[in-house]
């Protein structure tokens, strides 16, 4: 929400148009795998039709390291982190809001008056403005109350109160002119200016992929290699499959954890895969008390329209009783909980979706199925969209 007025015409409009075009260019590829544009030769497209195997896909072959304690895969190289973020918005910089921008922010801070602002700095500025607005509003309310008291005591009408609202308030001391937001390329160039006077900065940030994102890249797109954290050797698909389920089994290798379909990784992966396969960009939703947020193209384009809560449903209730896991939201929820989550999300103009993931019964499906991801076919996903209906206001 911008308190300095959302209507930007003229020069501001040009800035926005250029920003949009820039974003469309940088974030053009929805997935890390890219189909190369057809070559100038007239025969290339024909060849692709006749001999599909010769249609080459540009696979970036990224690398990540598995970290069991944070239950994630870390992408340590800048090249791979940039590719995975820009082609599909996979992962999150662990010291940033979204894309890894920690180094850029530190270098900005070092140059006394930073030329550009990263998204974190924009957020700081917005929060300060909001704080100032709240102070001004509280002072205005106090003044109006005092004036009303004085007027009542004197037996006259109080002067009409002027209380600033979000739409009418302007920051009283504009301070420095608003800085343009950094175009993403600046991250790469700023490294050259790093050691003018102070010692060079090590980039301690990495891109963190959730296990669901990592498995999606490994299994479906084959564009990520996961390394073992101790040996630095690439892990085989089987090992990755078992290791990702194993993070939820503490302590590991207990027989009670073996052959369970209700492993949290599997349940969440079923939902993640469902929405990714439909073309949504799926990110974490903890800021809005939900499991996932769905973006139509990506976080840089527009706010998320949908907030997803994953609700596991056991096909066989006996499995739930025998479960060593305590899956969140697996029990009947209360109306207060539902109202709370819906209210939080409607205040930020998001629609709540309840995604029911049905966990197959141990009695019906053999536990051997768990040795391969083919068992995911046994999970079913249903979604229910929730909107609050107010009969007095919604007449249509």
Partner 1 sequence: MEKHPSYEVLSSYLPIYPKAAGALFQTYNDLKYAQQWSDLELVELPGCARCGLKGRRPQTDEVLSIVPCSLSESLSTDWIRTTFRELGAPPHVYLAINTEDSSIVYYKISPGIVKPPL
Contact set with partner 1 (CB under 8 A): 67, 69-72, 91-96, 102, 134-135, 137-138, 202, 204-205, 208-211, 213, 229, 248, 250, 264, 283-284, 286-287, 326, 328
**Of the two residues 34 and 114, which places its CB atom closer to partner 1 in the complex?**
114
- Please give the C-alpha separations between residue 135 and each of 142, 147, 299, in angstroms, as whole numbers: 11, 18, 31
- At closest approach, how far in Å is the CB of 230 from partner 1? 9
- At closest approach, how far in Å is the CB of 112 from partner 1? 16
- At closest approach, how far in Å is the CB of 53 from partner 1? 36
**Of the two residues 92 and 273, which places its CB atom closer to partner 1 in the complex?**
92
- At closest approach, how far in Å is the CB of 52 from partner 1? 36
- At closest approach, how far in Å is the CB of 72 from partner 1? 5
**Of the two residues 38 and 252, which places its CB atom closer to partner 1 in the complex?**
252
Strand partners for 222: none
Both tokens of 250, joined, read 């503490």
- At closest approach, how far in Å is the CB of 94 from partner 1? 4
- At closest approach, how far in Å is the CB of 379 from partner 1? 20
CA-CA-CA-CA dihedral for 279, 85, 301, 20, to nearest 10: -120
- At closest approach, how far in Å is the CB of 171 from partner 1? 17
**Of the two residues 22 and 324, which places its CB atom closer to partner 1 in the complex?**
324
- At closest approach, how far in Å is the CB of 341 from partner 1? 15
The widest CA-to-CA distance across the chain, in whole angstroms, is 93
- Strand arrangement of the beta sheet that strand 224-227 belongs to: 92-93, 207-210, 72-75, 62-67, 224-227
- At closest approach, how far in Å is the CB of 108 from partner 1? 13
Q: How far is the C-alpha of 166 from the C-alpha of 164, rounded, in Å?
A: 7
Q: How far is CA 247 from the centre of its chain?
A: 22
Q: How far is the C-alpha of 63 from the C-alpha of 252, rounded, in Å?
A: 26
- Please give the C-alpha separations between residue 27 and each of 31, 88, 187, 344, 363, in angstroms, as whole numbers: 10, 8, 16, 30, 46
- At closest approach, how far in Å is the CB of 135 from partner 1? 7
Both tokens of 264, joined, read 């949290």
């Amino acid at each position: 929400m911008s308190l300095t007025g959302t209507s930007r015409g003229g020069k501001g409009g040009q800035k926005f148009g250029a920003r949009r075009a820039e974003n469309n260019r940088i974030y053009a590829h929805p997935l890390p795998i890219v189909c190369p544009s057809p070559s100038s030769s007239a025969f290339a497209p024909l060849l692709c039709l006749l001999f599909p195997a010769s249609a080459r896909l540009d696979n970036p072959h990224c690398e990540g390291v598995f970290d069991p304690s944070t239950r994630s895969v870390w992408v340590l190289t800048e090249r791979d982190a940039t590719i995975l973020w820009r082609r599909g918005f996979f992962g999150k910089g662990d010291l940033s809001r979204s894309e890894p921008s920690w180094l850029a922010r530190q270098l900005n801070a070092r140059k006394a008056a930073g030329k550009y602002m990263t998204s974190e700095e924009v957020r700081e500025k917005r929060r300060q403005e909001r704080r100032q607005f709240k102070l001004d509003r509280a002072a205005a309310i106090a003044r109006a109350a005092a004036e009303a008291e004085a007027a009542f005591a004197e037996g006259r009408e109080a002067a009409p109160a002027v209380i600033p609202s979000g739409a009418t308030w302007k920051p009283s001391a504009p301070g420095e002119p608003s800085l343009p937001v950094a175009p993403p390329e600046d991250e790469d160039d700023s490294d050259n200016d790093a050691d003018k006077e102070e010692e060079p900065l090590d980039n301690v940030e990495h891109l963190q992929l959730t296990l669901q994102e990592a498995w999606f890249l490994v299994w479906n797109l084959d564009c990520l290699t996961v390394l073992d954290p101790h040996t630095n050797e690439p892990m085989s698909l089987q090992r990755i499959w078992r290791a990702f389920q194993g993070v939820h089994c503490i302590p590991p290798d207990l027989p009670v954890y073996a052959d369970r379909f209700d492993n949290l990784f599997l349940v969440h992966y079923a939902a993640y895969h469902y929405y990714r396969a439909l073309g949504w960009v799926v990110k974490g939703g903890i800021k809005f008390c939900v499991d996932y947020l769905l973006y139509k193209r990506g976080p840089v384009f527009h706010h998320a329209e949908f907030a997803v809560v994953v609700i596991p449903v056991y096909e066989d209730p006996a499995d739930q009783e025998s479960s060593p896991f305590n899956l969140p939201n697996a029990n009947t929820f209360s109306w207060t909980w539902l109202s709370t989550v819906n209210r939080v999300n409607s205040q930020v103009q998001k629609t709540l979706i309840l995604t029911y993931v049905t966990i197959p019964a141990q009695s019906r499906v053999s536990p051997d199925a768990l040795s391969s991801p083919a068992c995911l076919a046994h999970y079913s996903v249903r979604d229910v969209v929730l909107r609050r209906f107010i009969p007095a206001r919604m007449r249509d």
